[in-house]
Amino acid sequence: MRIAGVGSAFPKHYYEQEALVGALKNDWRHRLPNPDILDRLDDSMKVDGRYTARTIDFYENMTTFGQANDAWIEVGLEIGEKALCRALVGAGIEPRDLSAIFVTSVTGIAAPSLDARLVNRMGLSPNIKRIPIFGLGCVAGAAGISRAADYVRGYPDQAAALLSIELCSLTLQRDDLSMAHLISALLFGDGAAATVVCGSEVDSNGPEILATKSTLYPNSERVMGWDISEKGFRIVLSPEVPDTVLKHLGNDVDEFLAEQQLSRADIGSWIMHTGGPKVLEATAASLGLTAKDLEASWECLRKVGNISSTSVLLVLEDVYRRRRPAPGTLSILAAMGPGFCSELVLLRW
């Protein structure tokens, strides 16, 4: 099993972080007990700018979940198609030859799901197996690769795709002045990314998927996720997230590697979900890594913010295209998210 292609796409609207913070301050400054808190929070985000599904004025007039979800479908299909096309081209696979597609998003809903709507747009096979995923959030980029690998393990002559589409800006709740939502509004952005995973009987020079592991932490449902109401998605983001990463990730990785008769010293590169500054710092501390080890993740965070499940795939794309390790190098690809849980993938280049 190998990752044969990776591609990404973004909405056409990109704003420097200063412009986005300014728009939030204009809306919230008279309702926040201390308006300066947005500047203080922004200083800690380490984000230079983010893509948004719509222009700023759309969000100023967005009043219903229906408006947000309609935009999610329209823009999600546009950038999802581009990301998947780029991954397929990189893999040398025609759209009609794709056997299965996993589509993950936690920022909107649709029935028929986005994967069904992409069949006609892209000329995918009418017999393609469709697996929409909702609810995994940030962990879904790594989990989706694992599930695609599970599929091609059973069908080694086939190829499966994972497509992540996250339009976090459309979850903005203008009347939610909680600390969790303020952080979310300053950190999360929009984008899509796709990977193509091929079975062992399909030619590819991409990294080999050697093993995967999922770990769920009991009684941690309120660490991260959404509360969903008539107004749409309301962020659940506990201050415990970095501590949860610090507590569990190192042990998860060590146990996973031990099962493969390996240790951290055998890993030559790390492809980690961006999270946020505190999450990346906790990741480094839990694994004994340096900022240099996580350079690709830090750069992704700086350029586009946290894009939920899409982010780890963007880091993978960066490593795949610009930081490709020497042949034989082992990598860990990992993400954590709602559950609370971790997903680990062992790669060999």
190 and 267, same domain (yes or no): no
Q: Name the band, by pLDDT with cuts 50, 70 and 90, for residue 336.
A: very high
Q: Is residue 121 part of a domain?
A: yes
* pLDDT tens per residue across span 124-145: 999 999 999 999 999 999 999 9
Q: Name the band, by pLDDT with cuts 50, 70 and 90, for residue 53.
A: very high
Q: Is residue 138 part of a domain?
A: yes
CATH number at residue 302: 3.40.47.10
| Amino acid code (one letter) for 291 | A
State the catalytic residue, choosing from 85, 138, 300, 341.
138
Cα dihedral 254/260/262/264 (nearest 10): -40
285 and 230, same domain (yes or no): yes
Give 147-178 as a DSSP string: HHHHHHHHSTT-EEEEEEEEEGGGG--TT---
Q: Is 138 a known active-site residue?
A: yes
Stretch 52-74: mean pLDDT: 95
**Residue range(s) defining the domain that contains residue 62:** 2-198
Q: Is residue 203 part of a domain?
A: no
193 and 215, same domain (yes or no): no
Q: Name the band, by pLDDT with cuts 50, 70 and 90, for residue 118.
A: very high
167 and 259, same domain (yes or no): no
> Which of 198, 221, 255 is at the close of a domain?
198
Question: Do 307 and 184 touch, CB atoms closer than 8 A?
Answer: no
328 and 280, same domain (yes or no): yes
* pLDDT tens per residue across span 235-266: 988 888 999 999 999 999 999 999 999 999 99
Helix, strand or coil, per DSSP, at residue 96: helix
186 and 220, same domain (yes or no): no
Q: Is residue 25 part of a domain?
A: yes
> Which of 178, 198, 218 is at the close of a domain?
198
Q: Is the pLDDT of residue 34 over 90?
A: no
What's the number of domains the chain is made of? 2
The owner of tokens 């042949």 is 327
Q: Is residue 102 part of a domain?
A: yes
